[in-house]
Chain A
Amino acid sequence: MSPSAVALSVIFAIVGIGSGIGFYAGARYKMDLEQWAVAGRGFGLLLVWLLMAGEIYTTFSFLGASGWAYSQGGPTLYILAYLTLGYVVSFYILPPIWEVGRKYRLQTQSDFFQCRYGSKYLAALVALVGVIFLIPYLQLQLTGLGIIVEVASFEGIGRTPAMLLAFALVAGFVWFSGVRAVAWVSVLKDLLLLCAAVTIGVEVPRIYFGGIGPMFAALARAKPAHLTMPGATANQGHAWFISTVLLTSFGFYMWPQAMRSSFTAKSGDTLRRNSVLLPLYTITLPLIFFVGFAAILIVPGLKNGDLSLLTVVRQTFPAWFLGLIGGAGALTAMVPAAMQILTAATLFAKNLYRPIFAPSMTDAQVGRLARMMVLVITAIALYFAIYSSTTLVALLLLGYAGVTQFFPGVVLGLFSRRVTTAGVFSGMAVGVVAAALFMLSKHDPLFGLNAGFVALCLNFLVVGVVSLLTSGQTSPFAETAPQPE
């Protein structure tokens, strides 16, 4: 067998096993909307950990982080900082979100806004913004899958057919199994990713440089500026770092799918312990960075940095190992993509379409519409993945600029009594429009700051001012005394 045939068969075997586990996990339960979307709210510490880690450690951290280490250098360190701090933020906000979620039987992020602010239009805006900014994230996963198959086939299979295949697999997976599938496939995925990261993170520097220390010493001699900020970029210095880390760590659990997976937990305490432990999971990420940095000296001059990790693996290890890494990477893209599609589809059907256009729809009809939307949303992301080219990290930052605009509404909604519906609505609208304008007119970074962060500051400002002008609204969450059971 040729190396590409070996590598591809290993990848498809791993994806096959993963999908098998997923279908099996889903097949044992009757799939109503509650089961499909939040697995009956029965996940304990281990499954929640797997689900959350599963959707957070995505193809972005695998190919994107190494890609930025390769092409941008120092600024890529923001990823280590924001993941750590994202869990710190989650410690304070997820347990109360879970309490509210259980009390009012919430399934989606938009339900949270509906419940707190009592406006179906605000809830619909949240759903719309959530679906729109999930698309770049989904595009990121599909692009990652395309890159994996392209490199593993030694450029024999083009990226477009590869992405079409990925599209079919992911959509089928979500359609049949819902959220349980995702949690169980995470087990396999995380195990593979851990082995992959440790092996290549240690072995690549050892084979080419004799170890991690000598590798960085060589890099510090050859390109000293690359290892610190702004690295290879012109305008991503320390102000950019601080603003980006704040934006992304606040936005970490504002992703509709991330907030939603907190509803699958058994108790608020599960989530609190989870946020204490999850930063440790980040410890494998620096190994991925090592490969990206090593690639600068091993395979200089790649046009697309996102290819660097796989290109180095391909020229260093046998084909079956490339297949193993590719398979791990493929699951790393599929699992979060599945979760994102699931969330976007539920949001669209339940929180946007039904309340605004068809209030008489039954739950069963909403469930069917959600499943149809799985196909539509994946197709849209596929379209963008085929017709646009941008780095994986840039795609994620675009998504963050959008979803972090939920942060003021969520945090103030939980802890403040003064914030009003009009305030949150206008703040969010201003934030999203500002973020979109800055990004589309290529004003990112703006004054050295992350443009999404500037939009977030405007958002907070507007929420504050408008809430003061429209005061007098009460919060349904105001008095949540410990509930007797």
Chain B
Amino acid sequence: MSSFIYLVAMLAVAWLVLWAIRDPKEPKWDWWPIEWWPFDTDTEAKMEQEGAEARQAAASAGHRRAVPWRERSGRSRRTTDAGKPRWRR
């Protein structure tokens, strides 16, 4: 059992090194027969998903209220346009 895990770990290390140096756009990588890389990440899809979730949240809340006023305006919550606290306005 231990030797089998060792073998898998050794193969994983070699495969990881190949993944780390490969550039799929370069023709010199055409020789590699396996397209499936276990190490591949999916940032693009996640980005799309999070963007869609944010848009959906915004739509359900009526756009403006989906994002806190402080983030929309970029101002501090405690100050007014003149830079004074609200209670001193």
A and B are interacting partners: no
